[in-house]
Amino acid sequence: MKAAVTFFREIKLGQARAVLFGTWLFGALAVFLFLAFHSLQQYALGAATAWEWLVPAVGPTLALISASAVVNAIDRDAAEDRKLARPFVFYATLAWSLVYLAVIVIMIAASANAHWDGVYMSAATPLAAMQIILASLLGVFFAAKNI
């Protein structure tokens, strides 16, 4: 009897964490650099508001991942490295992370000439909802012991 073909390849938990950590570290850095560039070029008076909007949109997720990475580096468990992450959950988390970061970049780019207070007010609730889902997905990898 043939084994079932899986759409996603299996990935070790440590590798999954590393990929997600790298995605967020470099993704957030790219977003920060993008906003810094636009702050110098276009936003002028609205730059402070743009930064006040970006930090809560990215900061909590970076804090969760960074704290977990430090704890896992200090309290490394060999059995943990052999565990396999559920592929669908990993790829869904990776995709949601990339979509979330892309939405932030698109909003920054699209609102270069807009009044930032209005952009922040209209974007706060949808971004918060996306971030809640994202935190739940990332929590599976960075806060849970068994997935």
pLDDT digits (tens, 9 = 90+) for 37-87: 877 765 555 677 778 888 888 888 888 888 887 777 776 666 666 677 788
Question: Which region among 22-31, 38-47, 83-92 has the lowest average model confidence (pLDDT)?
Answer: 38-47
- Quick one: average pLDDT of 6-34? 85
The predicted structure's pLDDT at residue 46: 65
Q: Name which residue leads in pLDDT, 110 or 77.
A: 110
pLDDT given for residue 1 in this prediction: 46
User: For position 105, what pLDDT does the model report?
Assistant: 85
Helices (H), ranges, the chain: 13-38, 47-74, 78-82, 87-110, 116-142
Task: Kindly report the number of other CB atoms within 10 A of residue 33's CB atom.
Answer: 10
Lowest mean pLDDT segment, chosen from 6-20, 39-53, 117-131: 39-53
113 pLDDT higher than 70 = no
The string over 40-63, giving b where at least 16 C-beta atoms fall within 10 Å of a residue's C-beta and e elsewhere, is: eeebeebbebbeebbeebbeebbe
Cβ proximity of 117 and 43 under 8 Å: no
Q: In this predicted model, what pLDDT tens digit does every residue of 129-141 receive, in sequence order?
A: 888 898 888 888 8
CB 89 within 8 A of CB 147: yes
Residues 51 and 35: their CA atoms lie apart, in Å, by 8
Confidence of residue 24 (pLDDT cuts 50, 70, 90): very high
- Enumerate the domain spans of the chain: 11-142
Burial class (CB in 10 A: 0-12, 13-18, 19+), 146: exposed
Task: Calculate ∠ Cα 114-116-118, nearest 5°.
Answer: 90
What sign results for the dihedral spanned by CA atoms 68, 73, 78, 82? positive
* Banded pLDDT at 28 (limits 50, 70, 90): very high
Here the tokens at position 89 are 């959950």
